[in-house]
Amino acid sequence: MVHVGAPLSAPFSLGASSPRARRRASLLPKLTRRRSIMASLGDDPIREWILTEGKATQITRISPIGGGCINHASRYDTDYGSFFVKTNRRIGPSMFEAESLGLSAMYATQSIRVPMPYKVGPLPTGGSFIIMEFIEFGPSRGSQSVLGRKLAEMHQAGKSSKGFGFDIDNTIGSTPQINSWSSDWIEFFSEHRLGYQLKLALDQYGDSAIYEKGQRLMKNLQPLFEGVVIEPCLLHGDLWSGNISSDKNGDPVILDPACYYGHTEAEFGMSWCAGFGGAFYSSYFEVMPKQPGFEERRDLYMLYHYLNHYNLFGSGYRSSAMSIIDDYLRMLKV
């Protein structure tokens, strides 16, 4: 930062006709321009990072990128490459900090490709931003078989010694997702996934019917997990078609995570709008073998996301959630 101290006229006491004075006078426009640039960078932390730590000297273009309903996304092209930037004018840095931690955890597994996060911070006028690696997408979502194998490799590599949860709470869509650590998966999933969503439906809609039935189900999940070995594995957490793509080489890319360490099968909870096919599951289970009772638990993990969609988008998703609850109550005879 240029320090503005004594008046600029002070050093020019040698007289206007002095060669030294004329040379210094010629520097005035450059000094003024530099001060102006540095001041403007201070008002724009995104530009400031890109033009300092991002190693760029010039931003050549800023282009809006569609696809999100919560944040505004842009591509920043520079003489040092491109950056992907998301901003939110209402929410502080905590949401993007959680996303950054999730991306970093997935990136560290060196399995499936994710954008590397670079910087998270507040905006001067309120809200927050995240700067990350820009990945040029290919023309399709890539191979289902490769996606299944790479996702399984991430689950295999990303383990936690702390149990089930994550180091920070995050969001699923715009709904808070509680990630307090637990040594018991059934307890964690019941309390922090189903229980939280059911209470939200009760508070938001006064839906005591779905709340009471859901509570009965939560207390009787144990039979669904008999003989199952559950390790806390790193999950993307919100894996639907909008968060899956491929790079220009055709390798799969996953985005916008809601990471936590959980049962691997919970990763398929959004499969109803992810388009996973037979090739995906075959490749996945070659790396992470299918456990007994997988089919019986599949709808349980979908229930969490149906409840979240009910809370986010309204009654159109209620019947799907209630149907799953009723089916399990009949199956478990409770």
CB 304 within 8 A of CB 262: no
Distances (CA, A) of 152 to 256, 280, 282, 293, 315: 18, 10, 11, 19, 34
Question: What residues are labeled active site?
Answer: 238
CB 109 within 8 A of CB 157: yes
- The token duo for 1 is 């930062």
Element (H, E) at 93: none
Distances (CA, A) of 292 to 241, 270, 280: 27, 21, 19
- The token duo for 311 is 């809370």
Pairing type for strands 233-235 and 260-262 reads: antiparallel
Count of alpha carbons within 13 Å of 262, Cβ hemisphere only?
Answer: 25
Count of alpha carbons within 13 Å of 185, Cβ hemisphere only?
Answer: 20
Hey, is 100 helix, strand or coil? Answer: helix
d(C-alpha 105, C-alpha 112), whole Å: 11
